[in-house]
Structure 1
Amino acid sequence: MEKMKLKMLYSGMKSEIDIIEKELETALNSSSHFLNEASLHLLKAGGKRIRPVFVLLAAKFGQYDIQQIKNVAVPLELIHMASLVHDDVIDNAELRRGRETVKAQYNNRVAMYAGDFIFAKALEYMTQIKKQQAHQVLSNTMVEICVGEIIQIEDKQVLKQNLRDYFRRIKRKTAVLISSSCELGAIASGASPEVVRHMRRFGYYVGMSFQIIDDILDFTATDKQLGKPAGSDLMQGNVTLPALYALEDDQIRPMIEKVIEGPITEGERQQLLKAIRKSDAIQKANHISDLYLQKALKEVDKLPNHPVNKSLVDIANFMGKRKF
């Protein structure tokens, strides 16, 4: 149902998204059959394509040319894909979107090189964009993502952290790339500085809301919906917003501590999920996500009146209120 909703939201851009999909396949082609197979693995698993869609929407505030804008949309999705491949190595994850991860199907070394290859292809595509500002934004984005990866490692299995630590982490993990997608789409099309600024802020707020919802769903959705065991984030040592709030509950805290200390049984996993779902941790996390979503929608109000505004609002609401 959720995927159908998203397809309906994208329906007006189907031809453009089809172009992006074909370009992604082309971008991942190399002279190495083995590298092709590993790189295409995640692409075949699908995805929401949120980042390229935001590039396309932001570009409509300027001189819109899909043949030019695709050279921004494709790199942003490639960077996202590369970061997922690296993430799965860091988290030792076996499943993503119901499929084996690249590291699970091959090994860590192949996954890391595949991720590096995808990053490199993103940079190669961006060379077709001649605006210096666009390259500055992209390079800063990649630096932030890499720093975020290190911070995520530093914060693993650390229960003594605060909300600021969490927000700093998800900014670099998710929000910065969505923000840059919105900003770069506007820059590449020659939109006004005001539009560029509001699109950047819109993307940041949407990205924060989106990641918080993602972290909530890791506890509230089913294994089947997630394509991996519910609670995987915590079992991999990642302490997310719902877990931080749940730690305030004296009955749940010992369960979380046990997860962090080592492997738990299936029964213990189910008990933890049930306890967190019944607690107020989910409601509190949802409230924070909604605050970010409302800030995003206020940025849309500051944009010039354009038919694309409704699409921005609809997609932002979907991202901030989805059920899985």
Structure 2
Amino acid sequence: MKLKMLYSGLKTEIDIIERELETALNSSSHFLNEASLHLLKAGGKRIRPVFVLLAAKFGQYDIQRIKNVAVPLELIHMASLVHDDVIDDSDLRRGRPTVKAQFNNRIAMYDGDFIFARALDYMTNIETPQAHKVLSNTMVEICVGEIIQIEDKKIVDQTIRDYFRRIKRKTAVLISSSCELGAIAAGAPEDVTRRLSRFGYYVGMSFQIIDDILDFTATDKQLGKPAGSDLMQGNVTLPALYALEDPMIRPLIEQTINGPITEEQRQQLLKAIRKSSAIKRAGDLSDQYLAKALKEVERLPDNPVKKSLVDIALFMGKRKF
């Protein structure tokens, strides 16, 4: 089953958000329009808006109000992707040329800044000060996370704690904020809002670990980019950290990080990591976060939407590509 099937009941609201995203990305600049719409048309799971919508169901649900939170969160995610691709010098995303590859680094950086700014503009429709505080803190954390990732690049001797602090800011914070802001915008009770925020955090951690596992286990076609790209860009993820403990694999990882490597060497690395215990160990850790997320759902008030939260969390934490 595809992820979008799990939230097909929200199709009308998602269609509204899609139209709003296109409107938000419109500007008087031809280059900005073309670059922004290039990214939008590349598609996406729209996970963050979905969590905004689901969380809002625990309060006074009004799509015309909630969209003013859902759109900014997806815009922030999109902007971070544009900047990521510049930093990582990535030419492909979802099997399509990145903004920086289609245009150039300068346009990509300004496009990312423009998308960030549009996110802030949309949030002005929400008058709740707490919502703006959460959003600003989220943006700060994302930026700090990107700097930390740059600092940690090509460092082989790092800890699991180092990895956690990166993925918390890279992925978990934005999903957590999506749940929290959806609840805040709908006026949900504070205890429910906090629980939804924790749910989003745990789901985000599980999701990113799985993403990092798939970078080694999925095919190039499934990923839309070469498998092992994270390591080739110098990013040491959880499976690689575990694999480094194997003296037979460690030289392969060091060779890849210091690159460039040949196609034969890439295949050798992928085969070694796939056969090692690193994949299962990383998967077990993802499962632990997923279990914590499901526990938070159990403690939420009775609401039909709880099943959707569970189904989507399980999909995200168990997906194969």
| Aligned mate of 2:5, from 4, 8, 29 | 8
Matched, 1:182 2:209: no
Given that residues 234 and 258 in structure 2 are in contact (C-alpha distance below 8 angstroms), is that contact kept between their aligned partners in structure 1?
A: no
| Aligned mate of 1:293, from 284, 290, 294 | 290
SS at match of 1:264: coil
User: Displacement, 1:42?
Assistant: 1.1
Q: Following the alignment from structure 1 to structure 2, what is the Cα–Cα distance between the partners of residues 315 and 130?
A: 30
| Aligned mate of 1:198, from 169, 191, 195 | 195
- Give the partner amino acid of 1:245: Y
SS at match of 1:305: coil
User: Displacement, 1:5?
Assistant: 2.1
- Equivalences for 1:134-145 in 2 at 5 Å? 134-145=131-142
Which stretch of structure 1 is more off in the superposition, 102-111 or 216-225? Answer: 102-111
| Aligned mate of 2:61, from 51, 56, 64 | 64
Matched, 1:282 2:295: no
Matched, 1:272 2:269: yes
Q: Following the alignment from structure 2 to structure 1, what is the Cα–Cα distance between the partners of residues 117 and 75?
A: 9
User: Displacement, 1:261?
Assistant: 1.4
Q: Following the alignment from structure 2 to structure 1, what is the Cα–Cα distance between the partners of residues 128 and 258?
A: 49
SS at match of 1:36: helix
Matched, 1:245 2:253: no
- Give the partner amino acid of 1:94: D
Given that residues 153 and 234 in structure 2 are in contact (C-alpha distance below 8 angstroms), is that contact kept between their aligned partners in structure 1?
A: yes
User: Displacement, 1:244?
Assistant: 0.2
| Aligned mate of 1:163, from 151, 160, 163 | 160
Q: Following the alignment from structure 1 to structure 2, what is the Cα–Cα distance between the partners of residues 288 and 60?
A: 30
- Give the partner amino acid of 1:216: I
- Give the partner amino acid of 2:263: E
- The C-alpha deviation readout for 1:222-275, integer Å capped at 9, x for no partner, is 000000000000000000000000000111000001011120000000010000
Superposed structure 1 runs of 4+ greater than 4 Å apart: none
SS at match of 1:24: helix
- The C-alpha deviation readout for 1:268-292, integer Å capped at 9, x for no partner, is 0001000000000000000000000
Given that residues 88 and 233 in structure 2 are in contact (C-alpha distance below 8 angstroms), is that contact kept between their aligned partners in structure 1?
A: yes
User: Displacement, 1:210?
Assistant: 0.1
Q: Following the alignment from structure 1 to structure 2, what is the Cα–Cα distance between the partners of residues 42 and 322?
A: 24
Structure 1, unpaired ranges of 5+: none
SS at match of 2:2: helix
Q: Following the alignment from structure 1 to structure 2, what is the Cα–Cα distance between the partners of residues 261 and 28?
A: 38
Given that residues 171 and 204 in structure 2 are in contact (C-alpha distance below 8 angstroms), is that contact kept between their aligned partners in structure 1?
A: yes
SS at match of 1:161: coil
Q: Following the alignment from structure 1 to structure 2, what is the Cα–Cα distance between the partners of residues 140 and 191?
A: 20
Q: Following the alignment from structure 1 to structure 2, what is the Cα–Cα distance between the partners of residues 10 and 300?
A: 17
Q: Following the alignment from structure 1 to structure 2, what is the Cα–Cα distance between the partners of residues 260 and 25?
A: 38
SS at match of 1:311: helix
- The C-alpha deviation readout for 1:11-62, integer Å capped at 9, x for no partner, is 1111110101111000000011111001111111100100000000000000
Q: Following the alignment from structure 2 to structure 1, what is the Cα–Cα distance between the partners of residues 319 and 42?
A: 20
> TM-score, normalised to structure 2's length?
0.99
- Give the partner amino acid of 1:96: R
Q: Following the alignment from structure 2 to structure 1, what is the Cα–Cα distance between the partners of residues 150 and 216?
A: 21
Query: How many pairs align?
Result: 321
User: Displacement, 1:7?
Assistant: 2.0
Matched, 1:90 2:87: yes
Q: Following the alignment from structure 1 to structure 2, what is the Cα–Cα distance between the partners of residues 61 and 180?
A: 15
Q: CA RMSD in A?
A: 0.5
- Give the partner amino acid of 1:264: I
Aligned to 2:145: 148
- Give the partner amino acid of 2:103: Y
Aligned to 2:315: 318
Q: Following the alignment from structure 2 to structure 1, what is the Cα–Cα distance between the partners of residues 290 and 311?
A: 11
Q: Following the alignment from structure 1 to structure 2, what is the Cα–Cα distance between the partners of residues 129 and 76?
A: 13
Aligned to 1:102: 99
Aligned to 1:216: 213
Q: Following the alignment from structure 1 to structure 2, what is the Cα–Cα distance between the partners of residues 278 and 51?
A: 34
